[in-house]
Amino acid sequence: MARVIVQRDGFDIAAEIARMAAESGSDVGAIVTFTGLCRSEKGALAALELEHYPGMAEAEMERIAGEAKRRWPIDALTLIHRYGKIVPGEGIVLVLVASAHRAAAFEAAEFLMDYLKTHAPFWKKEHRTNGQDGAWVEAHARDDVALRRWRD
């Protein structure tokens, strides 16, 4: 089972873990979670505004989820990505992966985040605490480097 959601509102990590545990069954031995948070950039960032291409973002997230399920023995996974203005300390992305064994869950979660960072069509704009809008955030070379380990 793969659950993919793009939403404006925040998410409840504990509720998502409980839902996955209840739906996954008794053979699940691990649920790995990753939560990406909005940073304050040492007090310089008031908010991060995320935009996405509706329909395309979900389709790419579904594709990435399907690839993870082909590579690892995953019982369930959830990908939640937010859009809109997000303030420091709030969650931006949540990845949950359930599997019988922890190694598969950890690897799949890392794979999913590496692909989300480089392939999901989301754009980020900074809003600074000095009242000025910052620039659109550019992609980082380090994200492409992290992605290379998953290439066949």
Higher pLDDT, 116 or 147: 116
Domain residue spans of the chain: 2-40+54-121
Give the model confidence (pLDDT) of 27-49 as tens digits.
899 999 999 999 999 999 999 99
List all residues 6 or more positions away from 91 whose beta carbon is below 8 Å from its beta carbon: 10, 11, 13, 35, 36, 37, 38, 82
The pTM assigned to this predicted structure is 0.91
When pLDDT is averaged across residues 45-67 and rounded to a whole number, the result is 95
Residue 147 has pLDDT above 70, yes or no: no
Distance, in Å, from the CA atom of 65 to the CA atom of 36, rounded to the nearest integer, reads 17
Kindly state the tokens that stand for 102. Answer: 């922890």
Report which secondary-structure segment, H or E, holds 94. Answer: strand 91-99
Distance, in Å, from the CA atom of 129 to the CA atom of 131, rounded to the nearest integer, reads 5
Kindly state the tokens that stand for 74. Answer: 């995953």
Higher pLDDT, 88 or 142: 88
CATH of domain 2-40+54-121: 3.90.1170.40
Q: What is the pLDDT of residue 144?
A: 63
Distance, in Å, from the CA atom of 56 to the CA atom of 32, rounded to the nearest integer, reads 26
When pLDDT is averaged across residues 8-14 and rounded to a whole number, the result is 97
- Indicate the average pLDDT of the chain: 91
